[in-house]
Amino acid sequence: MSDYITTIGIECHVQLKTKTKLFAAVDNDARGAEPNTLISHICLGLPGALPVLNDKAVELASRAAFALNTKPQPFSKFDRKHYFYPDLPMGYQITQFEEPVVLGGHVDIVVNGEQKRIGITRAHLEADAGKSTHPAGTDYSLVDLNRAGTPLLEIVSEPDMHSSAEARAFAHELYLLMKYAGVGDADLYHGNMRFDVNVSVSKDPNVLGTRSETKNLNSFKSVEKAVEYEVKRQIEVLEEGGEVVQETRGWDDTKLATFSQRTKEDAHDYRYFPDPDLPPIELDQAFIDSVEKSMNMLPAEYRTQFAGLGIDPKVVEDIVNVPETAQLVARILETSGGEHAKRIAFWTVQKTDDNSDDAQAAEPDVKVDDKNLVKLSELVSANKLSSTAAKEVLKEMQKTNGDPEAIATAKNLIQESNEDELAKIVAEILAANEKAAEDVKNGEMKAIGFLVGQVMKASQGKANPGIVQQIIKKQLNI
């Protein structure tokens, strides 16, 4: 079985973060809205209704171009793709077929410590269809057109991936790129990002096998599992002497299996032609430059920066997985230096340590000021707070965004690091525990723990245990 070469290409639909729809001045955020409340004559495809392009969508597509390591095309245009379905009001979808807004580009991924470059064929703007539901046991279907006209960017990769792990890594990196570039919310749970995977297997490295396309995967895990399933299924078909059929397949998330939806024979003739209602998109150099200038830092740059701080690569990934965290750490690095950045990075990652990659990015309820975070870190640097106490203070800060020193004081967590003060206490404890002091002197280092404990007790827990130990040793001349 292992002599088969797997080839994978991915198409990804990203929902663009615009206020209004792609071609209508209607609210684009359908979450929680009653069905068919976010519609106009344009979304309904009424007679005489004409599409008018939302410039914001073009700007976001241009941002995506830079995120994909290329530039938007100065000239692109819209085409009509025809098919009949009740959730497609005009009987055609407006998309970019011949001349898309993005051509070329690439995404770099890392799998098993090795970096790999995945080519991008193209990315184009298109309007989403509405949503059809078919209530079980009824003889009708329901159509909700709230989503009809939502702007999508369809990103098409080259068939450059050869394993399920690469497919997953690509999907994940694309997700991060779109989030960082501010193109979309990339909220997988709400279907903001959907993946279609094209998989084929072949023994001959020069000839691609017949591919299947598994559509509408909405998690990285399902991308990975669907590829695995398809590779296994196709190899089995071939090993049994059969032929892989070119077809569209669906994904069953509970059975973790793909299933046949329609074969090539049922393929539509979409009769693409340029949409005469929409002038071409022409982007001048000044616009393209202004978008490039406004681009945020992307994951790769953060990774390089954080790796330079000596942060463990696994932790770096955890930081980068949440753009807000990466941006926070980078800010701290710039304003307050590596020590604080590194410490705050760890705190933040631990806070979101349930961050499995399909989970929603955990957003803190109260945004803690950068300044307060740095203050907290400074308390640790100054030995005024133990790292355990710091976490306790941080928890409180996340509720109130209060001043860390005030919180620590209120919680009685400030460590006594004044050596003169501590020396007095140590002297008293040593005097009161001669036996233990003698043991330590004789090399029974276990006893030092007891002495430290006594000092801590005497200082009501405020003593810095590290410093206490040093003073004990000093006073006992060891």
Partner 1 sequence: MDTWAPIADIAAAVNDGKTTASENVEKALQNIEDKAEFKAIISLTADRARKRAKQIDEHVKSGKPAGRLAGVPFIAKDNFLTFGGETTAASNILKGFNAPYQSTAVENLEAEGAICVAKANLDAFAHGSSTENSDFFTTLNPHDKTRVPGGSSGGSAAAVVLGMAPFALGSDTGGSIRLPASFTGCVGYKPTYGLVSRSGVVAMASSLDCIGPFARTVSDAAIVLDVMSGKDPLDSTTIERSKNSYTDLELDVEGKTIGIIKEYMGEGLEPEVRKLIDAGVEKLKNAGAVIKEVSLPSLPLALAVYYIICPAEVSSNLSRYDGQRFGYSDLDAKTLEESYEMSREKGFGREAKRRIMIGTYVLSSGYYDAYYKKAQTVRTKLINEFSAAFKEVDFLLGPTAPSTAFKIGENVDDPLKMYLIDIMTVAANLVGVPSISVPCGMVEGLPVGLQLMAAQTCDRELLSLAKAFEELNV
Interface with partner 1 (CB under 8 A) = 41, 44-53, 80, 82, 84, 86, 89-92, 141, 143, 269, 271-273, 276-279
Q: Give 97 or 450: the residue with its C-beta nearer to partner 1.
A: 97
Q: What's the closest the beta carbon of residue 27 comes to partner 1, in angstroms?
A: 18
Between residues 45 and 250, which has the closer beta carbon with respect to partner 1? 45
Closest CA to 8 of 141, 139, 201: 201
CA distance 308 to 327: 16
Which residue, 3 or 84, has its beta carbon nearer to partner 1?
A: 84
CB of 142 to partner 1, least distance (A): 12
Residue nearer to partner 1 on the CB measure, 89 or 323 = 89
Distance CA 300, CA 174 (A): 12
Q: 41 vs 367, which CB is nearer to partner 1?
A: 41
CB of 274 to partner 1, least distance (A): 9
Least distance CB 54 / partner 1 (angstroms)? 11
Q: Could you tell me the smallest distance in angstroms from the CB atom of residue 290 to partner 1?
A: 22
Judged by beta carbon, residue 94 or residue 193, the one nearer partner 1 is: 94
Please report how close the Cβ of residue 291 comes to partner 1 at its closest, in angstroms.
21
